[in-house]
Chain A
Amino acid sequence: MKRNLNTLCFVLVMLCIVALSSNNIDALQLCYEMGKGTAYTDATQKNFLIETIIRAVDMNVLLIAGILLIIVVSKINKGLVFVWQNITLFRWIGYLLGIHALVSSAVNYVGKQASETFEGNPFDYQGVIAAIFVLMVAEIFAIGLRMKEEQDLTV
C-alpha cells in the first residue's frame, strides 16, 4: 500500500512539473515574441489589456494551485497523510480551482458574445466539479484526521 502511494506521488509530482512548465513556457514565448515585435498584439484594442490581465491572473492561480498540489503530494509521500496542513492546502487548492473555473467561464462567455460561431455552453462545469470535489476531499481528510487523533488518544 505504501509503495503504491509513493509511486503514485512520484508520477503525480512529475506530471505536475511537466504541466506547469509547459503552461509557462507558452507564456514566456508570448512575452519573447511581444518583445521582439513579431506577436500580433494590437494595443489599440480596448479589451486587449483587460483580457491579458484576466489571463495572467488565471495563469498565476493555476500555477499556485499546482505548487500547492506538489506540496500536498510530497507530504503524503513522506507519510504525513491525515494532518491539518494537508486539509488547509486542499481547501486552498479547491478555492483556487473555483476561481479558475469562474475566470474561464467569464472568458468563454465574453468569447461567445464576440463570436457567432461559438458552440456549446460557456460555463466551465468540469472546473466547478473539480473545485467542489477537492473541497469535499479536504472535508474527508478532516474526518480522517479526527479519526487518527481519536486513535492516538486511545493508544
Chain B
Amino acid sequence: MKSKSIRILSILILLLSIVMLGDGFLGFKDGWSSADGDLDKKIHRVDVSLNPAVAYSLPDTLQLADNRKIPYQIGNITLGMKTDKVYELFSGIIGLVSTPVFLLLIIWAGLSFFRFIRDVQRQQIFIRSNVKRLRVICWMLLLVGIMKNVFAGVDYFLLLKDSDVSFPGYRITGFEFDYSTFFLALLFGLFAEIFALGVKLKEEQELTV
C-alpha cells in the first residue's frame, strides 16, 4: 500500500514538474524577447513595488468614457533606469560570475531532483546518493536566495535609492530581504539530514541481518 502511494505521488510530481518546466520555458522566452526589444542597452529595467501612502486605500481614479469613475492602485511598475559606470561595473562582475554558476547549479539541482524522485519511485529511498542529492538542492537554493537578494540589492541601492523617483500618493517599497528561497533550502537541508538518519538506520539493520 505504502509503496503504491509513493509511486503514484512520485509520478504526479514528475508530471507536474515537467508541465511547470514548460511554463517556465515560455516565461523565459517572453522575457528574452522583451529584453531584446530594449533599444538603448544603457537602460536597465528595474521592478519597483509601490504601496499606497495610506495602507489599503486606492489613491488613483480612472475616468471612463461614460463618466464612470473607477478607483485603482498601482502595485508594481517597471522603470527604465539609465545606468552609470559604477552600476555597470557591479552588475557586469556579478553577471559574469553568477550567470554560468547559476545555470550550472540550476541544471545540477534539477537533475538531482528528478533522479531523487526516480529513485524513490523505484523504491530506492534510504540510499547515500539521495542524501547527496537533497544536499545539492539545499545548497543550490541557498545560492539562488543569496543571488536574488544581491540582484535586488544592487538594483535598489545603486539605481533607485538616490534617484528621487517618487509617485504621488504612494511610497516606494525599499529593499526587502526575500527569505522564501532560504526557507525552502532549509527544508531540503532538513530532509537531507533525516534521510542521512534513515540511511544509517538501514545500514545498521542490514548489518544486524
- A9-B190, A142-B2 known; 4 new pairs, CB 8 Å cut-off, are A1-B200, A40-B56, A81-B194, A125-B20
Check A154 for interface membership: any CB of B closer than 8 A: yes
**B5 contacts the other chain (Cβ, under 8 Å)?**
yes
A46-54, A55-63, A105-113, A129-137: which lies at the interface: A129-137
The answer, yes or no, to whether A148 is at the interface (CB within 8 Å) is yes
Pairs A–B under 8 Å by Cβ, sample size 24:
A1-B193, A1-B196, A15-B182, A29-B55, A39-B56, A39-B57, A40-B71, A76-B194, A82-B201, A120-B27, A125-B20, A129-B13, A129-B17, A132-B9, A132-B12, A132-B13, A139-B5, A144-B198, A146-B2, A147-B201, A151-B208, A154-B208, A154-B209, A155-B208
CA distance A132 to B180 in the complex (A): 19
Query: Do the beta carbons of A5 and B183 come within 8 Å of each other?
Result: no
Provide the residues of chain B in CB contact with A137, threshold 8 Å: 191
* Pairwise interchain contact B56-A38, C-beta atoms closer than 8 A: yes
Contacts A139-B6, A140-B125, A148-B201 known; A38 to B57 CB distance under 8 Å?
Answer: yes
- Determine how close the nearest CB of chain B comes to the CB of A8; give it in whole angstroms: 5
Q: Are B193 and A5 in contact (CB under 8 A)?
A: yes
Chain B residues contacting A141 (CB-CB under 8 Å) are 194
Among A4, A29, A129, A146, point to the contact of B20 (Cβ < 8 A).
A129
Select the residue from A121, A139, A141, A142 with max chain B CB neighbours within 10 A. Answer: A139
CA distance A142 to B2 in the complex (A): 8
Once bound together, how far apart are the Cα atoms of A142 and B120, in whole Å?
Answer: 13
Residue B16 lies at the interface, judged by CB distance under 8 Å to chain A: yes
Contact of B6 among A140, A154, A155 (CB under 8 A): A140
- Complexed CA–CA distance, A129 and B114 (Å): 13
- Count of chain B residues with a beta carbon within 8 Å of a chain A beta carbon: 44
Question: Within the complex, what minimum Cβ distance (angstroms) separates A109 from chain B?
Answer: 15
Interface pair A18/B179, CB less than 8 Å apart: yes
Interface membership of A11, Cβ < 8 A: yes
In the complex, how many residue pairs between chain A and chain B have their CB atoms under 8 Å apart? 119
Q: Is the CB of A30 closer than 8 A to any CB of chain B?
A: yes
Q: Which residue of A lies closest to B123 (CB)?
A: A143
Q: With A and B bound together, what is the CA distance between A151 and B198 in angstroms?
A: 12
Residue of B nearest to A15 (CB): B183
Q: Which residues of chain A are near B191, meaning CB under 8 Å?
A: 137
B170 to chain A, nearest CB (A): 14
Verify A38–B55 contact, CB threshold 8 A.
yes
CB distance from B115 to the nearest CB of A (A): 15
What's the least CB distance linking A76 to chain B, in Å? 7
Is B150 among interface residues, defined by CB-CB distance under 8 A?
no
Asked if B197 is an interface residue, CB under 8 A from chain A, the answer is: yes
A39-B56, A151-B208 known; A135-B190 Cβ under 8 A: no
Q: How far is the CA of A41 from the CA of B71 in the complex (A)?
A: 11
